Amino acid sequence: MALFVDGPACTIDDLTDQDAGLLNVALNTGINLSTKLRLAVEEIRTDLQLWLNRFRPTPAMVWEPTLRVEQMVVTPPLKRWEVMHSLALVYRDAYFSQLVDRYQAKWQEYAKLSGDARESFIASGVGLVSDPVSQAEPPALSTTPGPQSGGEFYASVAWENSANQEGAPSYASSITVSDGNLMTVQATGAPKNAVGFNVYAGTSLAAMLLQNDMLLPVTASYLYVPGQITQGRLPGAGQKPDFMRALVRTLLRG
């Protein structure tokens, strides 16, 4: 599972799965769906921060660790909240842009569904990790001479912490390599708690397999040899919660 702070957990495809006519609405009203996804996450983050900043009795402050938004994992209830809140923002703007009654009805419908999703999230609690590993940035790819045929290659990287927990993989980078050369993969922007990284690479986005059998040092450069790895796991989805924590319902925004 990805961390909440890695960015929107849902995609435009997730929104259109819920509302098939969304793309036409966005086109007709000039609404940027990616912007609405980002705004929905920002508003939800405000609600989550209110919970984290809730008042605690003095004795609890001695033994209870301070929790941070950066520790929060996107669970299915939280993802659904993002989807519904994003749709509510889209149709709210569509209504005020066009003053079309059906947009108002959609806005009200998704606002209610967003509230229901938030209630489900509250009921389930929030998933947290003790040592969050942020999503990696797309790797820097280059070439070096080598006795191989060229082609179009793809690579993604993911950081690991000292507990061998892997963060969300980066978006893939691609490069065209000419014959007689090999692709090199370099991870960049290492978080402070990263002890190394994994490389996933292949000839297509759907077939990027784990290349290294040992964790690569933070500053290492990996040499990809096409065909050397034919079996292996695909990129993961990020950290799973280490523990769950109940939410204080009264402090979340309505």
List the one residue out of 33, 35, 40 whose CA is nearest residue 16: 33
Residue 252's pLDDT band, with cuts at 50, 70 and 90, is very low
pLDDT at 91: 96
- The residues that bridge with 185 in the sheet, in sequence order, are 141, 222
Is the per-residue pLDDT at 143 higher than 60? yes
Mean pLDDT confidence for 31-45: 96
pLDDT at 248: 63
Q: Where do you find CATH 2.60.40 in the chain?
A: 140-224
182: helix, coil or strand?
Answer: strand
Q: Please tell me whether the overall predicted TM-score, pTM, comes out greater than 0.95 for this model.
A: no
pLDDT at 65: 64
Residue 56's pLDDT band, with cuts at 50, 70 and 90, is low
Residue 57's pLDDT band, with cuts at 50, 70 and 90, is very low
DSSP 68: -
> In this structure, which CATH number among 1.10.260, 2.60.40, 1.25.40, 1.10.10 belongs to the domain 140-224?
2.60.40
